[in-house]
Amino acid sequence: MKKAIVTGGAGFIGSHLVDKLLSTGWHVTVIENFDPYYDREIKKHNLIHHDLNPNLEIIELDITNQVELISKINGNYDILIHLAAKAGVRPSIKNPLAYQLVNVMGTQNLLELSKKLNIKQFVFASSSSVYGVNPNVPWSEEDHVLQPISPYASSKISAELLGHVYSKLYNIRFIGLRLFTVYGPRQRPDLAIHKFANKIMNGETIPVYGDGSTQRDYTYVGDIVSGILAATRYNKSKYEIINLGNHRTITLKYMIEVIEKSFDKKAIIDRQPMQPGDVEKTFADISKAKRLLGYQPKTNFEAGINAFRDWFLDIQSLVVK
């Protein structure tokens, strides 16, 4: 039986990944600190259907605590998939040191753990935010002039570079996946689609930053998980940075319209100025992911929103208002 460590495995993307790994015969050790960024009950609920599964172990642990990490995580593992992070562009501007600690030092601690346990495959969830204000769209991994505009983005770049160091020094295969605006069931309450849906259903105003023309490459969580799983099997080179997106941009205005249609309720818009750290457009070149991973996103935005709606309505008792 193959064994994986998944950090952040009770979160939005992580819990979907754990579902897939367990369904295909893996033993999974989840490292989760249940960060109070949002209600821990939501994260616990994400994995509650695996409560009796002997192939799942959940260890409550902070990746910034190297002593506990080294002492509590032992055994033989085939792969470490690092999804845990201090999340959010805007909060990182208010508290940049926390993002440096968790996203950079936390990643280094996990690379050290991989070195200690002789784990030879390390998959890392990076972010499209690393491209920053790059006008050359769609964004390609071959464009090495990165222009981040938030501490969150810079912390992800730093972690990618740490991965390069460890791949060279310790023969750890490091696959950094730059994820583009992931959405779908179990999405965090602070993210736009979830936040907007919550406010629409409660008849509250939605803060819309700018004129609604900003664009995001929304990517369904199931497609992202397929890309991560493909990265666990990749073995052709020791270090790669790969975009995982949908290669289709959606305007903020259209996103709201699709949510309105799916929930059959109109939004009340509150126009606000653009926020520091935001970019006008994210757009993924996914040709490398197709070539190296066989990655091919399948879920269109409208279908993905409907899947999110079904989960959202089912989970209302736990949603943080």
Nearest to 188 by CA among 7, 16, 6: 16
Catalytic choice (38, 99, 152, 295): 152
Strand 239-244, strand 215-216: pairing: unpaired
Quote helix, strand, coil % in the chain, to nearest 5: 45, 20, 40
Note whether 297 and 287 are within 8 A (CB).
no
Token match 């849906």: residue? 197
- Is 152 tagged catalytic? yes
Strand blocks (E) in the chain = 3-7, 27-32, 56-60, 79-82, 121-127, 173-179, 182-183, 205-209, 215-216, 219-220, 239-244, 250-251, 268-272
- Interatomic CA distance for residues 79 and 91, integer angstroms: 31
Spatial strand order of the sheet with 56-60 comes to 56-60, 27-32, 3-7, 79-82, 121-127, 173-179, 239-244
- Interatomic CA distance for residues 47 and 44, integer angstroms: 6
Structure tokens at 135: 């006008």
Q: 238 vs 80, 167, 169, CA distance in Å?
A: 15, 6, 11
Q: 313 vs 57, 60, 164, 201, 262, CA distance in Å?
A: 29, 29, 43, 10, 12
Q: Residues 6 or more apart from 44 whose CB is under 8 A from it?
A: 10, 34
Q: Which residues are catalytic?
A: 152
